[in-house]
A and B are shown apart, each in its own frame.
Chain A
Amino acid sequence: MLSTAEKIIFFLASLATIYATWKAIDRLVRIIGRGTGQLDWGLARKRLWSVLGKMVILKPTFNFRVGVSLAHLLIAWGFMYYMLVNLGDVLQGYIPGFRFLGDGLIGGIYRLGADILTVTLLVSLIILLFRRFILKPSDLTTRKTTLLHPKARSGILRDSAIVGVFVILHVGSRFLGESFTIAREGKDVWQPFATALSTLWVGWSGLEFAQHVAFWMALGLIMLFIVYFPYSKHIHIFFSALNFLLKPERRSIGELTKIDFDDESLEQFGASQIDQLSKIQLMDAYACIMCFRCQDVCPAYNTGKLLSPAALEINKRYFFNEEGTKFANGESSHQSLIEFAIPLEAVWACTSCGACVDICPVNNEPMRDILDIRRSLVLMDNQFPTQFQTAFRGMERTKNPWGVPPSERMNWAKGLDVPTIEKNPHPDILWWVGCAPATDVQAQKTARAFAKILKMAGVNYAVLGQAEQCTGDSARRAGKEDLFFELALGNVEILNEVKPKRIVTTCPHCLHTLKNEYPAYGGNYEVIHHSQLINELQAQGKLKANPAAAKEKITYHDPCYLTRHNDIAHEPRSVLESANVEIVEMDRKKEKTFCCGAGGGQAWKEEEHGDERVSANRFREVQASGADSLAVGCPFCMMMMVDAAKDANSPIKIRDIAEIVLENIESQA
């Protein structure tokens, strides 16, 4: 229906758009190319179908903010469908009398789809724009104290406004255009909404002119928008898919990259400049939709610390927007990451809980950037909270971050007849005790309870005893990767000699490290949590629970390293249920669990400045659950919760799962 002149102009405009877009994409590709490492396109090929599947209902967005995500889904469906629609419209514009997909059933269904999705898109978009611009919720922005690029605060709003207006105009004018066509050519039973609208202008003389205007509005705007895309967070529509396609395979969200200290050629450890991050980390900045979900779930942000994982990604993105051309050309950024992306205090506030990684709908991993920055601070600049020194020295000299020597490591087992690997060199299962029971009184109770359970069930097990060394998790999370390297190699050597069939541990940090981090160092072990072993033993009938014991109201705090990093949430609960307790769940449970505050090396230092302790925040939730007792599955969670209970003067009993199970078994006298 386009005139010849229009066709020529449209063609030329398309060429201009393609050119401008190509330049923008080239710039973008070169920006990302400044990152380290390589993108593995083989992974993309492998994952293509599953990622396409993810795009159907956008499952990752529904982790959080369900209503909003539903509206977004309708918009996304509309947007995706419009790729077809725009193609159809251009063809119809160029080929006179052409009806895209024909007049039959298929064409009809196509038009019905377009009609319905147009309306749902417009309605949802208006709702979301209302939310953002009228309701102005705090979870779409960050506190004033957060380090945010000066252009970002207004920039995000402006971007949303431009995109919102564009989509409304683009979709709206196309909708109007259809209604004009219908007004001229007659009702279309397959486009009920457009038909309804068309009744407004049946018989209007300007309809043909209006049709052309609508065409140019709809498709002209698309051409403008494509060029604007690379500067907008709207580009997430491509980059989220790329993120899912290209993320390296990881055994768990917490499995960090290995630095090979035996490689003498390495000069840079960790990342202090933006071009020292990997390509996939730079891509995160383009995928980021600036939705602030990660900030919402961050325990540090929620307790008033300076850390906002969202701000980190947004600052990277704004750096690319503002200074990306120079950066793409090979110039270094004149500011380090600490200066423009995330301040020092925020880096040290992270508890490495992984909530930000878990919640991100576009598969971003801000936690990894933070830990890479820590590595650079520790290894290159020797700059880290002084309190870490004691933990580092302890791990170096006595292989125990609390400084307890190997000779005292088995003191907790006095009187319990716990077999060491010397006495029982080929056990069915190796119990990795960890450093905490070597010293902390609470952890000792857990270990003793578990030892008694193992004995009762007649398990053929052994512990490494004095030969056990710290797994080095604290060193790794604190950025002291060289110490971790030594501990990992040492432990792998010992374990590969022992050749355990399976390993069970009472500490999720040990579990995570042994299971997910050690394979990169030559150690591949099957590792389970003690709650999983207890679950097995119960299923095998080797442990007799007491069903008649008085029902206690217990709430269970999921440890981050058990649940989020290792997907173990079911067995602790089934084990607790077998102990005849009534489980009252907290809101923030399972993968949504809220960190106790000890991770990321925080157990070894004073918390960064904020409104309250992370543990206090979590403990308030424990109190609000109405439970009389709190069950934990990790010695660090235990330490933090016990301290928090004392601070709150609370009578809530805090016990490990093993203690609760043992109490129940022993109650049948």
Chain B
Amino acid sequence: MKIIVFVKQVPDSTAIVSIENGQVSWGDAPLIINPWDEIAVEAALLQREEVEGEVIVVSMGPESAKEALKHALAMGCNQAILIGDESLKNTDSQVVAQVLAAVVKKVGEVDLAVFGKQSIDGEAGVVAAQVARLLKWPMLSMVSAVKKIEPGKTIQVERVVEVGRQVVEARLPVVMNVGKEFAEPRYPSFMGIRKASKAEIPIWTLADLGIAPILSKVKWLDLTAPPQPEVNTEIISGSSPEEIANKLVEKILAEKIL
């Protein structure tokens, strides 16, 4: 069974982010593999353990994205490919989707394409569904577990939806994205890291994929970095527990996180 998993390299979530020359800048904060994509890699590796096959990890990005690919190789992926092209800077989701769909076609005979739920920088979470639509493959989102997989035939998964969970069966090949519930990503072994650091990772350009540069349809007009509020603890007090509770609940609801 051939499984392809897509990863993105992003700045660490603790990075201090600022706007420089209209671009987002994270200074020298470390770049890491997108945590959701790490789960996707784990999901792909677990399927390979169930059914014999290979896992190909792909990333679209600059040279530094090779680090994310090496992390995935160290976790146990068989092969890595970097998609790099000058025209692919600051693209919107449908450009990415078209490129990744072309990758799936070029790799050929792929049974399963796995994505993480979203990236922690762009946070759109739409590329997976768009790749599925372009390939005309079924889309299975928010997968929390793979219950059964019959290569060449069907896959049965559990999905998390707002109102509970669903068990859905779909015809292979499928595109799926996975959430936190799927699994804890394995820690890359030292021997894996060592092997991965020596790996040669091929770079495919748009020409290699046989597609012409694609224009973005969504434009970012303006960027601001609102100042992060300092955590100054506010102690809520009152004359009775009920009063305190009411004040606190109002503050919590005002934060709009529920």
Touching in the complex, A and B, CB below 8 A?
A: yes
- Chain A contact-residue range equals 10 to 19
Q: What mask results when residues 411 to 455 of chain A are scored 1 for a CB within 8 Å of chain B, else 0?
A: 000000000000000000000000000000000000000000000
Q: Which residues of A contact B29 (CB under 8 A)?
A: 405
> Is A382's CB under 8 angstroms from B12's CB?
no
Residue of A nearest to B190 (CB): A379
Chain B contact residues, majority secondary structure:
loop
Residue of A nearest to B189 (CB): A382
Min CB distance A476 to B, Å, is 14
Min CB distance A470 to B, Å, is 14
Q: Which residues of B contact A398 (CB under 8 A)?
A: 12, 14, 30
Q: Which residues of A contact B192 (CB under 8 A)?
A: 382
CA distance A93 to B113 in the complex (A): 91
Most buried by B among A378, A380, A382, A407: A382
> Is B190's CB under 8 angstroms from A397's CB?
no
Residue B167 lies at the interface, judged by CB distance under 8 Å to chain A: no
Of A379, A389, A397, A405, which contacts B191 at CB under 8 A? A379
> Is B190's CB under 8 angstroms from A380's CB?
yes
Residues facing B in A398-413 (CB within 8 A) are 398, 403, 405, 407
> Is A389's CB under 8 angstroms from B32's CB?
no
CA distance A381 to B186 in the complex (A): 13
Residue B170 lies at the interface, judged by CB distance under 8 Å to chain A: no
Residue B155 lies at the interface, judged by CB distance under 8 Å to chain A: no
CA distance A403 to B13 in the complex (A): 11
Q: What mask results when residues 1 to 26 of chain B are scored 1 for a CB within 8 Å of chain A, else 0?
A: 00000000000101110000000000
Q: Which residues of B contact A381 (CB under 8 A)?
A: 189
Min CB distance A387 to B, Å, is 11
Residue B187 lies at the interface, judged by CB distance under 8 Å to chain A: yes
Q: What mask results when residues 511 to 554 of chain A are scored 1 for a CB within 8 Å of chain B, else 0?
A: 00000000000000000000000000000000000000000000
> Is B30's CB under 8 angstroms from A397's CB?
yes
Asked if A382 meets B14 with Cβ closer than 8 Å, knowing A397-B30, A397-B32, the reply is no
Q: Which residues of A contact B191 (CB under 8 A)?
A: 379-380, 382
Residue A571 lies at the interface, judged by CB distance under 8 Å to chain B: no
Min CB distance B53 to A, Å, is 22
Q: What mask results when residues 160 to 183 of chain B are scored 1 for a CB within 8 Å of chain A, else 0?
A: 000000000000000000000000
Q: Which residues of A contact B146 (CB under 8 A)?
A: none
CA distance A407 to B29 in the complex (A): 10
> Is A378's CB under 8 angstroms from B190's CB?
yes
Min CB distance A212 to B, Å, is 68
Residue A239 lies at the interface, judged by CB distance under 8 Å to chain B: no
Q: Which residues of B contact A269 (CB under 8 A)?
A: 190
CA distance A269 to B193 in the complex (A): 14
Residue of A nearest to B15 (CB): A405
> Is B14's CB under 8 angstroms from A407's CB?
yes
> Is B189's CB under 8 angstroms from A405's CB?
no
Residue A208 lies at the interface, judged by CB distance under 8 Å to chain B: no
Residue of B nearest to A481 (CB): B190
Min CB distance B100 to A, Å, is 27
CA distance A637 to B85 in the complex (A): 54
Residue of A nearest to B185 (CB): A389
Which A residues fall within an 8 A CB radius of B?
A: 269, 378-382, 389, 392, 397-398, 403, 405, 407, 480, 482
Q: Mind listing 21 A-B residue pairs with CB under 8 Å?
A: A269-B190, A378-B190, A379-B189, A379-B191, A380-B190, A380-B191, A381-B189, A382-B186, A382-B187, A382-B188, A382-B190, A382-B191, A382-B192, A389-B187, A397-B12, A403-B14, A405-B14, A405-B15, A405-B29, A407-B16, A480-B190
Which B residues fall within an 8 A CB radius of A?
A: 12, 14-16, 29-30, 32, 186-193
Chain A to chain B: the 8 pairs with minimum beta-carbon distance, closest first: A382-B189, A405-B14, A379-B190, A389-B187, A482-B190, A397-B30, A407-B16, A397-B12
A380-B190, A405-B14, A407-B16 are known; give 16 further A-B pairs, CB within 8 A. Answer: A269-B190, A379-B191, A382-B186, A382-B187, A382-B189, A382-B190, A382-B191, A389-B187, A392-B187, A397-B12, A397-B30, A398-B14, A398-B30, A403-B14, A405-B12, A405-B15
